């Protein structure tokens, strides 16, 4: 499902995987009580029924999506591989995909280490960090999905030789992603208690969680802007660069700084400042690499000579296309 979703998004279709994913979620919701309590003649599986409901619904969604793609004669409908092209395709997929996979693993491992530092300050700190992190996850969703859209648009235009259009993608990406996360930051800073009470009620935990949102929540906008530059860099296939910036943010800045500040301040709030600082560093590193244009030079070298006008000016390229038509 993830592979098909990625390929559909790569063609600019983000609705189809959304519909099938939504169908899978609805089917899981229906099957959960039936398999847990054994209704309508189905076996009573207890809590294991939830696992079976998820497995069955995702399998059905996957089969249905495959049938749909074949019925629509989609170019990404799964079929037998062309063995003559299999080797180069696998190598290119691994070259782009492995760094991205490592990046996600590094993020997860970094969060484990930071959580371990927080746990050292007791149950209240752990509970506050857990509740605030859930708000982080909600706040980050618009930026993450905007980054995926930017990566798709950048890849399509770079593949077509319209390098000049990437500047517009970057500018509008900053407007949308930055604007959404800035709004979320404002809500998190203005109403932290209301947000935290959705998950916890302990006054001591809420007080510490409020300090987290006042510090980290105020920096959500930097996180949102990071996904704009990273989306373009990933769209150009330079996933090794975004992996390097992630390593810099998490393992050179966040983790060591969280350990040092928390010890110097003798408070878990030092971790909050470290997380906020890592957002800023990640944004600066990603934006600096984008503005350096190094990713673009490599693409220009590979592009055919006839694409020079498109690379320089997307409006001129469009005019040329109209003239040819």
Q: Dump pLDDT digits (tens) for 153-178.
A: 888 888 777 877 888 889 999 999 98
Q: Which residue did the predictor score with more confidence, 39 or 54?
A: 54
What CA–CA distance (Å, rounded) separates 49 from 42? 10
* Rounded percentage of the chain residues whose pLDDT exceeds 70: 91
CB 242 within 8 A of CB 103: yes
- Identify the band that residue 299 occupies on the pLDDT scale cut at 50, 70 and 90: low
Q: What is the pLDDT of residue 306?
A: 47
What CA–CA distance (Å, rounded) separates 214 from 191? 10
Q: Which positions ≥6 away from 127 have C-beta within 8 Å?
A: 200, 202, 205
* Length reported for the chain: 325
CB 53 within 8 A of CB 32: yes
Query: Is residue 319 scored above 50 in pLDDT?
Result: no
pLDDT tens digits for range 61-101: 999 999 999 998 888 888 777 777 777 778 878 877 787 78
Q: What is the pLDDT of residue 297?
A: 60
Element of type H or E holding 290:
helix 269-292
What CA–CA distance (Å, rounded) separates 59 from 205? 41
Q: What is the pLDDT of residue 305?
A: 46
CB 132 within 8 A of CB 219: no
Least confident of 40-54, 85-99, 119-133, 288-302: 288-302
State the pTM of this model. Answer: 0.72
Q: What is the pLDDT of residue 321?
A: 34
Rg value, the chain, Cα? 23
Q: What is the pLDDT of residue 12?
A: 76
CA dihedral 263, 265, 268, 272 (to 10 degrees): -110
């Amino acid at each position: 499902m993830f592979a098909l979703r990625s390929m559909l998004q790569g063609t600019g279709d983000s609705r189809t995987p959304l519909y099938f994913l939504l169908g899978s979620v609805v089917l899981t919701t229906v099957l959960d009580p039936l398999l847990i309590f054994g209704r309508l003649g189905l076996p009573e599986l207890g809590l294991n029924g939830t696992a079976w409901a998820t497995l069955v619904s995702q399998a059905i969604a996957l089969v249905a999506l495959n049938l749909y793609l074949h019925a629509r004669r989609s170019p990404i409908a799964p079929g037998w591989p062309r063995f003559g092209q299999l080797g180069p395709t696998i190598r290119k997929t691994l070259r782009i995909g492995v760094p991205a996979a490592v990046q996600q693993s590094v993020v997860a491992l970094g969060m484990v280490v930071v959580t371990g530092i927080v746990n050292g300050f007791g149950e209240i700190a752990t509970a506050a960090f857990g509740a605030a992190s859930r708000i982080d996850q909600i706040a980050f969703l618009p930026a993450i999905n905007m980054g995926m859209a930017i990566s798709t648009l950048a890849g399509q235009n770079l593949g077509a030789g319209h390098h000049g259009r990437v500047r517009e993608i970057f500018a509008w990406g900053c407007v949308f992603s930055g604007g959404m996360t800035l709004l979320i930051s404002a809500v998190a800073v203005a109403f932290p208690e209301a947000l935290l009470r959705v998950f916890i009620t302990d006054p001591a935990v809420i007080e510490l969680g409020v300090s987290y949102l006042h510090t980290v929540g105020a920096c959500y906008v930097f996180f949102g802007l990071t996904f704009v530059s990273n989306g373009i860099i990933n769209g150009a296939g330079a996933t090794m660069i975004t992996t390097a910036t992630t390593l810099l943010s998490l393992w050179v800045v966040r983790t060591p700084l969280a350990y040092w500040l928390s010890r110097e301040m003798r408070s878990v709030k030092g971790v909050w400042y470290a997380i906020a600082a890592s957002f800023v560093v990640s944004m600066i590193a990603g934006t600096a690499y984008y503005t350096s244009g190094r990713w673009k030079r490599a693409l220009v070298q590979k592009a055919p000579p006839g694409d020079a006008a498109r690379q320089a000016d997307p409006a001129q390229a469009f005019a040329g296309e109209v003239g040819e038509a």
